[in-house]
Amino acid sequence: MARGTYERQAMVRRSATGRIGIAEVAVKAGVSHATVSRVMNGNFTVDPEIAARVRAAAAELKYQPNPVGRSLALGKTDTIGIVVPDLANPTFQAILRGLSRAAAQDGYRVLIADSFEVSSEEAILAGEARRRCDGLVLCAPRMSDAELEEIVPSLHPLVLINRTTTAADVPSLVVDYGQGVQDLAGHLVDLGHTRLAFLAGPPRSASNGLRLQGLEAFKADHPQVEVLMLEGGSDFDTGHEAVDAVLDSGATGILAFNDLVAMGLMSGLHERGVDVPGDISVTGFDDIPFARYTTPALTTAAVPITELGQQAWEQMRALIRKEENDAPGSRYQPRLEIRASSGPAKAPRTATHG
């Protein structure tokens, strides 16, 4: 077919789509479509002079490669996925922020999937996200250990946050929640509190399980201290709704699952005229950005949540690039942040509700 015919067909395609394509660049540079594709995808086997001609034609035509087509050609998407249980939680937002910023520096974007605390959705979301991305970060999944072990082989490259697996090639970034809650309980005991209550998190939360283990160890070391277990959750509303249970418990020191639960509880206590920390001391966990601005400012265990996201990308990048990783995974120790929501214990309380 004559060159003029190719040019006319290329112009027809351009007018129909409104987009410059490989065909137009190929005509301009006088090469085949395959040659343009190899040059645009960074294939260095093309003769340098021909490659320069292709790039000059692409620049003159303002050609932009189709990202979907490029991904298919290269076998990669320059995207990673992250599955979180609740994107409304500032902790997961901070992890995402750290991950996104770090990945962007290497030209990667992040696809987000929120399971809305529905554990049965996590495996489905993880599989779908992995098919669309070059790798996956599972952030504090609620699925059981057995479910996690079953799905892990299909998700490589994979990085876990606040979960572990028996797979040797899956880095895990884990916060020592057990020690963190023991530090908070010890702080309350040092203030004279002998009756504590733990406002628990979601039953399927692995980090909640670690807190419970930590409290069991704490009780063994402090037989003179009573630690009650109360049902709770992971958001502001569950903390607010737990006021009756907290007041009925007679506890003078409260260990909330996280900062959001602690904030909800303090709001509810304030509405009832209960003074924090004069009547009841309240502690949280995570040290989200709002924790220091509550009234009173919240005593909590600070977790380097943004750093978790950044480190997740460092681990993922090593997996994607097949780089040697001498220290896969990390363990983080929470830091006690003592603020105004915890204070000396008053005389032991009896139930005040009702």
Q: Are residues 150 and 259 both part of a single domain?
A: no
249 and 166, same structural domain? no
Pair (312, 242) in one structural domain: no
Residue 16: per-residue pLDDT: 47
What does each C-alpha distance from 146 to 29, 116, 128, 329 come to in angstroms?
57, 21, 20, 21
Which residues form the domain of 247?
177-303
Residue 160 β-bridge partners? 138, 172
CA 309 from centre of chain: 7
Q: Would residue 339 count as lying in a domain?
A: no
Going from the first residue of the chain to its last (354 residues), give the mean pLDDT of each consecutive group of 10, the final group possibly shorter: 48 52 86 80 76 88 65 70 94 96 95 91 92 93 91 95 92 96 98 98 93 98 98 95 98 98 98 98 96 97 95 96 78 97 80 49
Cis omega before residue 277 (within 30°)? yes
Phi, psi of 180 (to 5 degrees): -60, -45
Task: Spell 147-179 as b/e; 16+ CB within 10 A means b.
Answer: ebeebbeebebbbbbbbebebeebbbbbbbbbb
Q: How many domains does the chain have?
A: 3
Q: Determine the Cα–Cα distance for residues 156 and 320; give it in Å rounded to an integer.
A: 9
Residue with structure tokens 């987000």? 112
In a domain, 352, yes or no: no
Query: Do residues 203 and 265 share a domain?
Result: yes
For residues 196 and 294, state if they share a domain: yes
Enter the pTM of the model: 0.77
CATH number, domain of 117, equals 3.40.50.2300
Is 284 contained in some domain? yes
Residues 168, 310 within the same domain: yes
Residues 292 and 185 in one domain: yes
| 349 falls within a domain | no
Q: For 84, how many CA atoms within 13 A lie in the half-sphere containing its CB?
A: 18
Assess if residue 342 is contained within a domain.
no
| Cis peptide bond N-terminal to 48, omega within 30 | no
State whether 299 and 314 are in the same domain.
no
pLDDT at residue 64, as a whole number: 73
Residue 184: exposure state from Cβ atoms within 10 A (0-12, 13-18, ≥19): buried
CATH number of the domain where residue 17 is located: 1.10.260.40
- Please indicate, yes or no, if residue 282 is contained in any of the structural domains: yes
* Last residue within a domain, chosen from 17, 47, 73: 73
Structure tokens at 347: 């005389």
Q: What pLDDT is attached to residue 44?
A: 63
| Among candidate residues 303, 323, 344, the one where a domain is terminated | 303
Q: 239 with 296, same domain?
A: yes
My answer on whether 205 and 260 are in the same domain is: yes
168 and 309 share a domain?
Answer: yes
The backbone torsions φ and ψ at residue 330, rounded to the nearest 5 degrees and listed phi first, read -155, 160
Does residue 100 sit within a domain?
A: yes
Asked, for residue 345, whether it belongs to a domain, the answer is: no
Q: What is the pLDDT of residue 327?
A: 61
Indicate whether 238 and 150 sit together in one domain: no
